[in-house]
Each structure stands twice: as C-alpha cells, then as structure tokens.
Amino acid sequence: MKTFEELRIAEPILRAIQELGYEVPMPVQEEVIPILLEGNDDVIALAQTGTGKTAAYGLPLLQRVVVENTYPQVLILCPTRELCLQIADDLKDYSKYITRLKVLPVYGGSSIESQINMLQKGVHILVATPGRLMDLMRRKKVDLSGVGNVVLDEADEMLDMGFSESINAIFEALPAERHTLLFSATMPKGIAAIAKQYMYEPKEIVIGRKNEGNQNIRDIYYMVRAQDKYVALKRIVDYYPNIYGIVFCRTRKETQEIADKLIRDGYNADALHGELSQSQRDYVMQKFRIRHLQLLVATDVAARGLDVDDLTHVINYGLPDDVESYTHRRGRTGRAGKTGISICICHVREKRKIRDIESVINKKFEAGKVPTGKEVCTKQLFNFMDEIERVKVDEEEIADLMPQIFRKLDWLDKEDIIKRIVSLEFNRMIEYYKNNGDIKVLSDEPKSKKVKTEVPAKKAKAKKETDSNNGYTHLRINLGGIDGLGQDSLIKLVYQQVGGGIRMRRIEVKKLYSTFDVQNAEVERIINSFRVLQVGNRKVSVEAVPSGQKRKGRRFEHSKGKGRKKKY
Ligand code: AMP
C-alpha cells in the first residue's frame, strides 16, 4: 500500500488531509490519483458511494489547477444540491492551504444572481448540478472554454434523474481538449453510451468486483403479511435500540404516513420527501446528520445526496422496483470500513425480487424472523444494562446525597434493587408485549412448515388500548408554535427546566399551547419547576389535562425517550 506522499500529493494538500485524519489512501484513491497526476487518460471508475471517490479525483485535480488563471479549469457535475455542496465543501477542506484557489458550487433552488456574482469574481473549480449549469449557460454567464477536466460524479444517478439531455448539451459546449472522468456505482447502458460518445479510450477501474455487494453489509429479509408491515417495522426498530438509519418508502404519501405513525408512536423519526419545501428538507437532514433523529423515513429521490457515513441500518419498507435502487439504498450503510445491516420488510410475492437482487449483489439474504415481544424485551433489557455499566458517575456531585440514599434503600438487598431498577424501565414494555401477538411470518417453504402466530393481533388490540396510557398524565403548557416552539425545542425546554430524567411522549405543539404525556410520578416536579418561568411578561404554566379531554386511541410507546435523553 502506498502513502499519499508516494502518490505525489503536494505539501499544502497533504497538510490539509492529514488534519482531516486521512492517513492512508483508500483503494479508489490509490488507483485514480496516479492516473490523474501522471497520465492523460480518461477514466471510468465503478465505485460505490463512501469509497473515498471525492478525494480520488479531488486531490489530483486541485493539484493541477493553475491559480493565476481565474477561470473554471475543472467542472464537476453531480445529481443533487446536497451532493454538490458536499463535494464543494470537501474540495475547500482539501485546498485550505492553497491560497486564492476558489471552488464554487452552483445548484438549483438558490439565488442564481449571487452564483453569477461569484462566477464573475473568478472561480477555478465549478461543482454544478446539470440543470443550474444549463441555466447559467443559456444566460451566457459561465465560460467553459478553459475547462480541461470534467468529472461526472454519481453518473448513474444523474441519468436516473433524467439529466442525460443536459449532460449531452454540456459536453457539446466543452472544449474537445479535455480529460473526462466518470464515477458511478452501477453500470447501466446509458453510462456506456456517454463513455462511447464523449470519452477517449477510457481506463476502467473497478473498486471491489463489478456490481458486487459490500461484504460489510448483512442483508436480511422479513416476509410478513401486508397488514403486519408496520408492526414488523416497529419490532425491528425496537430490537435495535441504538439504531441510526433510513427507512426507505416507495411514495411520498407512504413516507409521510409511516413517519407520522412512528412519531405518534413515540419514535425519534421524521420524514424526508419531495413535497416538503427545500428549507424543511434541509432542516430534517440537518437534524438527522447531527443525530437528533434516529430514523429518517425517506423516498429514494429525497435521500440522494444525504451523505451520512455511520448509518447502522437501512430499512426497505417494501422492495424498490429495480435492483439498482436496492444497491444504492444498501450502499448507505456499511461505509468507510464500518459494518451495516440492510433490512427488507416484504411480502412473499416479492420473493422473486429478492432472488434477483441476490444474483446482482452476489450474496444470499438471511431470512429473518420478526423478533417476538420477549426477544425485544430481552434485547432492550441488556441494552439498558449496558447503559448502567457505561454511565459516568459524578462522584463529587453525588457524594453528599449518597448517605441519604443508602439509608433510604437500606432495607433492600442488591438483588432487590436490581430487580426494581429493571422493572422501572420494563414493566410497561413487558405488559405491552404480553398483550400483543407475534407477527405471522410468511415463509417460502411448504405450508406445513409455516411459523404459527401466538396471539392474533386483532384480539390483542382491545386489551392493548386499555393499557396504553397507564401510569401517564397528559400535561398542557401555555406555549406553542406562536412562541417559536417546535417538538425539539419543547423537549429541550422541559429538560432544561426540570433537569432531565423525564420521559415525554405524545408531544404535540399547537399554535397557542402544547401538550405531552409524562409518567404520573413526574407530574408534580414538572409543574413546580415551571412555576418560576416567565417568557416576556407572560407567566408560563403547566397543568394536567383531565383524562376526559385526552385524545383517544394512543398505543403503547416504549421508552424512546431514552434516545432523547441522551441528546438534550
Ligand atoms: P466519499 O466516497 O468521497 O463520499 O468519501 C467517503 C468518506 O471517506 C468521507 O467521509 C471522506 O471524508 C472519507 N475519506 C476519504 N478518503 C479517506 C482516507 N484516505 N482516509 C480516511 N477517510 C477518508
């Protein structure tokens, strides 16, 4: 394995990437950097996202820029605004010690005037989405005559999104004397056509075998009845308490529905789809990036360009129509050497598709069985135990209280205390699962071998609903959307005011007020701690809402509050 120095990366760039923690080149970098620095060949690189391709083309191309020539010398085309910004940010990081080198992202959905302004000031590297670049070309505001290197990043995605005509038009406007690099996760026919028409004897580089599935990823399918899909999703999510993943849905409507249901059921989730405004999408993506969201429910298109490296899971809520979409979805986990799990919740009719995918990723799926209530409880219990083991004890702060605490619990032995701590966390969950049947698993084996359900879900439903609000009180606070409050800021406010340890659920922010449920034992503490709070001239008040005024039909929501607790 070579070092970046041996690949002849120059000093200012070396310093910048060392600061980013890049110690050794990734395989795609080892292959592509020498070609771009030494040779003049066109390159087609088949590389999944997350393989380090931005630096593979970015480092050598930055090195070849002549800073004195203040016109675009490198053009990078990519499918989405998010990816465009991501690439530009990466290149700015790599070139932070090259004085006066300018990288400009141009993309739709943002002021074209300010982009034109920046262009006129002089730019060396232009990162563009095809649509916006076409717009700039039509207005004659961009000069591509000095472009010596063109990169198509995520070329397959660009074709999928219908940019092939724009790409052709852009190529026609570029100088004939140029090098072209094409990066793509898959190799559909359209890519071969571009290569044939616009590239000269390209070198083909394949990172991993062509179309091979990333071996860091486990692919698991769960075959369930259509009506059990959502419950199966919840079970699976419950089974992985530290999950940080994307749930892919097929349509915008389904995406919103599933996100709404998850939020209503107390999960830390939100939706990302094309019907949201750009600023709403940015907000959701930002929350997800900084892990204020555990689950992002998204359509394929909206999730494009969202670059998050350490997803633990990708969940396919139903299979996508084509195998390529599946490989893109699963490629979002198991990145940068990490492991990941790609889950499909599907119907037995989709079995053929599973086989098709297997033949493309060259790997067998594991047949999963939706975890039973007991399995989920056990898993969560051990996760809780892990948390107890890991929690940092503030010896100094707690020291004063310890004698009192010991005195209070003196009559209990160690075993009793442990049992009580566990019960505090798990009584409701155990109760819930006791009343919920396990999900019917559809198998592709002969009928006699089918796994039986323990309790029909319908029968369990009635009991479950009566149990659902046990031990909780519905509270109303006289602050709402009009005061700039949202779900996140409400949680934060309560945590700041009360000092943490609160498990909130059913949070709703209305215009003038907001409501949420908390455990009965916590009600007094919350009401009292808000007595002292004032916003402007208004006294803030929290009060319990009589049970008759509650909304009905709320189901059990397990302690997803735990996830939140960590964040605020
Ligand atoms: P990309 O495929 O360009 O999106 O890169 C995937 C991730 O790998 C990004 O977070 C990069 O910052 C990171 N990365 C790229 N090259 C290296 C390297 N040589 N060493 C460590 N991390 C890297």
| CATH number for the domain that contains residue 468 | 3.30.70.330
Range from 160-174, 344-358, 488-502, 517-531 that averages highest in pLDDT: 160-174
The amino acid that residue 534 corresponds to is Q
Residues 365 and 385 in one domain: no
Q: Do 364 and 241 fall into the same domain?
A: yes
Kindly state the greatest CA–CA separation across the chain.
86
Least confident of 207-221, 276-290, 348-362, 498-512: 207-221
pLDDT score of 208 more than 60: no
- What pLDDT sits at residue 33? 95
Q: 211 lies in a domain?
A: no
pTM of the shown model: 0.50
Do the domain assignments include residue 235? yes
- pLDDT in the model for residue 458: 42
Same domain, 155 and 290: no
Q: How confident is the model at residue 435 (pLDDT cuts 50, 70, 90)?
A: low
Taking residues 202-216, report their average pLDDT.
66
**Residue 299 structure tokens:** 């359509």
Lowest mean pLDDT among 85-94, 105-114, 443-452: 443-452
Residue 225 has pLDDT above 90, yes or no: no
Flag whether pLDDT at 465 surpasses 50. Answer: no
The response to whether residue 94 sits with its C-beta less than 6 Å from ligand 1 reads no
The whole-number average pLDDT for the span 115-134 is 96
Mean pLDDT, range 418-436, rounded to an integer: 71
Q: Does 388 fall in a domain?
A: yes
- DSSP per position, 149-194: EEEETTHHHHHHTT-HHHHHHHHHHS-SS-EEEEEESS--HHHHHH
| Confidence band of 460 (pLDDT split at 50, 70, 90) | very low
Q: Which helix (H) or strand (E) holds 14?
A: helix 11-19
**Token pair listed for 396:** 């100094």
196 & 62 share domain:
yes
Is 93 domain-assigned? yes
Tokens matching residue 194? 């571009």
Which of 402-422 are b and which e, b meaning 16 or more Cβ less than 10 Å from the residue's Cβ? eeeeeeeeeeeeeeeeeeeee
DSSP letter for each residue of 30-67: HHHHHHHHH----EEEE--TTSSHHHHHHHHHHHH--T
Distance separating alpha carbons of residues 358 and 326, to the nearest angstrom? 11
Cβ within 8 Å of residue 341, ≥6 positions away: 217, 218, 220, 240, 312, 313, 314, 333
Count other Cβ atoms within 10 Å, centred on residue 467. 16
pLDDT band at residue 470 under the 50/70/90 scheme? low
Domain region containing 525: 457-567
Report CA(303)–ligand 1 centroid distance (Å): 19
Per-residue pLDDT tens digits for 341-376? 999 999 878 888 888 888 888 788 888 888 887 778
Give the pLDDT band of residue 433 (cuts 50, 70, 90): low
Query: What share of the chain in percent tops pLDDT 70?
Result: 85
Give the total number of structural domains in the chain.
Answer: 4
| Residue 440 within a domain | no
Does residue 451 fall inside a structural domain?
no
Of residues 446 and 179, more confidence is placed in 179
Question: What pLDDT digit, counting tens, does each position of 139-154 carry?
Answer: 999 999 999 999 999 9
Taking the C-alpha atoms of residue 155 and residue 185, their distance in angstroms, rounded to an integer, is: 8
pLDDT of residue 192: 87
pLDDT of residue 561: 37
Task: Among 178, 206, 234, give the residue marking a domain's end.
Answer: 206
> Which of 52-56, 168-172, 446-450 has the least mean pLDDT?
446-450
CB of 505 sitting under 6 A from ligand 1: no
pLDDT greater than 60 at residue 425? yes
When pLDDT is cut at 50, 70 and 90, the band that residue 305 belongs to is: low
Nearest-CA neighbor of 180 among 82, 70, 76?
76
Q: Is 491 in the same domain as 513? A: yes
- Exposed (0-12), middle (13-18) or buried (19+): which is 257, by Cβ within 10 Å? middle
Q: Which of 158, 177, 206 delimits the end of a domain?
A: 206
Tell me which of 1, 3, 4, 22 to substitute to probe ligand 1's pocket, judged by most ligand atoms within 8 Å of the beta carbon: 22
DSSP state of 127: E
With the C-alpha atoms ordered 133, 151, 70, 104, is the resulting torsion angle positive or negative? positive
Q: Does residue 499 sit in the same domain as residue 558?
A: yes
pLDDT for 505-542, tens place per residue?
Answer: 888 888 888 998 888 878 888 888 888 787 776 788 89
pLDDT in the model for residue 556: 30
Closest-lying ligand 1 atom to the alpha carbon of residue 309: 10
Phi-psi region of 515 (alpha: psi -120 to 50; beta: other; left: phi over 0): beta
Residue 361 lies in a domain: yes
Distance CA 203, CA 181 (A): 9
pLDDT band at 568 (very low <50, low <70, confident <90, very high): very low
Distance 323 CA to ligand 1 centre (A): 26
As a whole number, mean pLDDT of residues 295-320 equals: 87
Mean pLDDT of the chain: 82
Task: Give 476-487 pLDDT, tens digit per residue.
Answer: 998 988 788 888
Output the CA 44–ligand 1 centroid distance in Å. Answer: 19
Whether residues 429 and 545 fall in one domain: no
User: In degrees rounded to 5, what are phi and psi of residue 538?
Assistant: -95, 135
Q: Which positions ≥6 away from 229 have C-beta within 8 Å?
A: 317, 318, 345
Q: In the predicted model, what is the mean pLDDT of residues 49-67?
A: 91
Do 37 and 153 sit in the same domain of this protein? yes
Residue 209 has pLDDT above 60, yes or no: no
Query: From the CA of 291, how far away is ligand 1's center (Å)?
Result: 20
SS3 333: strand
Residues 360 and 242 in one domain: yes
Backbone angles phi, psi at 193, to 5 degrees: -65, -45
> Is residue 112 over pLDDT 70?
yes
Strand partners, 106: 128
Q: Which among 298, 302, 294 has a CA at the least distance from the CA of 249?
A: 298
- Nearest by Cα to 568 from 478, 474, 481, 487: 487
Q: How far is the CA of 50 from the centre of ligand 1 (A)?
A: 7
Q: What's the pLDDT at 336?
A: 65
**362 and 249 fall within a common domain:** yes
The residue among 127 and 517 whose pLDDT is bigger is 127
Q: Using one digit for the tens of pLDDT, what is the confidence trace for 538-555?
A: 788 898 886 555 443 323
Mean pLDDT along residues 375-404: 83
Q: Which comes out higher in pLDDT, residue 449 or 303?
A: 303
Is 48 touching ligand 1 by the criterion CB < 6 Å? no
Task: Please check whether residues 50 and 105 belong to one and the same domain.
Answer: yes
- Of residues 392 and 170, more confidently modeled: 170
Residue 51 Cβ < 6 Å to ligand 1: yes
115 CB near ligand 1 (under 6 Å): no
**Residue whose CA is at the smallest distance from ligand 1 atom 14:** 52
The per-residue pLDDT for 337 is 64
In a domain, 6, yes or no: no
Minimum mean pLDDT range among 114-123, 428-437, 532-541: 428-437
* Pairwise CA distance, residues 484 & 479, whole Å: 9
